[in-house]
Amino acid sequence: MKFFAPRGAIAAIALSLSAVAAQAQENPECIAPANPGGGWDFTCRQVGKSMQDLGLIDKTMQVVNLAGGGGGVAFAEVVNKRGDDNDLIVAASSATATRLAQGAYPGNTMDEVRWLASIGADYGVVAVAADSEIDTLPQLLDAIKEDPTSTSVAGGSAVGGWDHLKVLIAADAYGIEDVRQVKYIAFDGGGEAVTQLLAGSVQAFTGDISEAKGFVDSGDIKVIAVLAPERLDGEFSEMPTAREQGVDAIGANWRGFYAPGGMSDEAYDAWVSKIADLYASDEWKEIMAANGLAPLDLQGADFEAFVSDSVAQIQSISREIGIIK
């Protein structure tokens, strides 16, 4: 026997479905998988504020700092406990791809979440305290060459993570034969790593230009190398590249977002659209310029394919320098 729903019931179901769609992003939340002050924290807070300023979200984006495991604690939280949350996005970067590439999120793969979009690329930097006697990247690498135990380099990613890989790539390019001798100390976020640098606990910092900018502006640190193909524009133009110092090392950290794997298609499409509108805005172009972000405009399936390629490339680099077998 066929069942025909009354016209009023059909209308009620349609209204209910549209209400669910409308509720996507009703209480927008962004998880920054590190302590305040680092690149993931910057990504959540700056994007949330800009989205609200542009009218892309109606409410203030709640930012939750969930540090640990180089992003692994946040990834597990999303996969295991918040898999169908339509309001949630999570800051991600090359550091996320690195940990996934190296199998450092136990039991988790990139396919367990949905990849939303990129908001730019953040070039890597190597910096020292403003009063350090070290002024160039070769000076730092020479100190490591002569006595690896004398020089500690701090970063905001876990051991084997993207911040660690950047300094290893530079060391390898400079001819340090066993890059595993480089003494790297991991902290939960770039802000914490710079704090340790200023306290004198470590001698150098490896991170991204957006993380370093505030500390450069305050006069606390000096950037001795930007891991870009050529000097950046504007206020960053005075910072030397590694390449011009004879160290052919390039490290661009993409920045973007993933979402829970069970997020509805409607919510996913809405978030992708909002981030695309943000990226295209004049306000975001100004923020990119002010923070040294290079262009990287990828959304939806294109971004997912890009992340997949990143994971494969980092696996190759990690094997080459002995991080994984």
Amino acid letter, 89? I
Bridge partner residues of 63 (DSSP)? 30
Q: In the numeric block, which tokens belong to residue 45?
A: 């807070």
Report which of residues 76 and 314 the model is more confident about.
76
Q: How confident is the model at residue 318 (pLDDT cuts 50, 70, 90)?
A: confident
Specify whether 242 is located in the same domain as 296.
no
The helix, strand and coil proportions of the chain, stated in percent and rounded to the nearest 5, come to 50, 20, 35
Amino acid letter, 139? Q
Which range in 166-180, 275-289, 308-322 is most confidently predicted, on average pLDDT?
A: 275-289
CA atoms within 13 A on the CB side of 228: 24
CA nearest neighbour of 186 among 67, 101, 292? 67
User: Structural domain tally of the chain?
Assistant: 2
Work out the number of other CB atoms within 10 angstroms of the CB of residue 180: 13
pLDDT at 307: 96
Report which of residues 4 and 167 the model is more confident about.
167
User: Has residue 283 been placed in a domain?
Assistant: yes
User: Has residue 159 been placed in a domain?
Assistant: yes
Query: What's 39's domain CATH number?
Result: 3.40.190.150
Burial group, residue 250, by CB count within 10 angstroms (0-12, 13-18, 19+):
middle
User: Has residue 12 been placed in a domain?
Assistant: no
Greatest pairwise CA separation for the chain in angstroms? 86
Q: How confident is the model at residue 84 (pLDDT cuts 50, 70, 90)?
A: very high
User: Has residue 136 been placed in a domain?
Assistant: yes
Listed range (28-32, 47-51, 142-146, 234-238) with the worst mean pLDDT:
234-238
The SS3 assignment for 29 reads strand
| Pairing of β 152-155 and β 113-129 | unpaired
Domain boundary at 215, 235, 251, which?
251
Expressed as residue numbers, the domain containing 226 is: 123-251
Distances (CA, A) of 287 to 42, 50, 72, 196, 254: 11, 9, 28, 27, 15
8 Å CB contact between 129 and 220: yes
8 Å CB contact between 184 and 153: yes
Q: Where are the beta strands (DSSP E) in the chain?
A: 29-32, 62-65, 88-93, 113-129, 152-155, 183-186, 204-208, 221-226, 252-260, 293-294
Q: Is the pLDDT of residue 6 over 80?
A: no
8 Å CB contact between 253 and 208: yes
Backbone CA torsion sign across 173, 176, 178, 181: negative
Predicted confidence (pLDDT) per residue in 196-232, tens digit: 999 999 999 999 998 899 999 999 999 999 999 999 9
Q: Show Cβ contacts of residue 190 under 8 Å, excluding neighbours closer than 6 positions.
A: 34, 37, 38, 39, 155, 156, 163, 205, 207, 208, 211, 212
- Rounded Cα gap, residues 296 and 121, in angstroms: 6
Query: pTM of this prediction?
Result: 0.78
Specify whether 158 is located in the same domain as 215.
yes
Domain boundary at 235, 251, 267, which?
251
pLDDT at 64: 98
Query: What's 135's domain CATH number?
Result: 3.40.190.10
Specify whether 130 is located in the same domain as 212.
yes
Percent of the chain with pLDDT over 90: 76
Q: Is the pLDDT of residue 317 over 90?
A: no
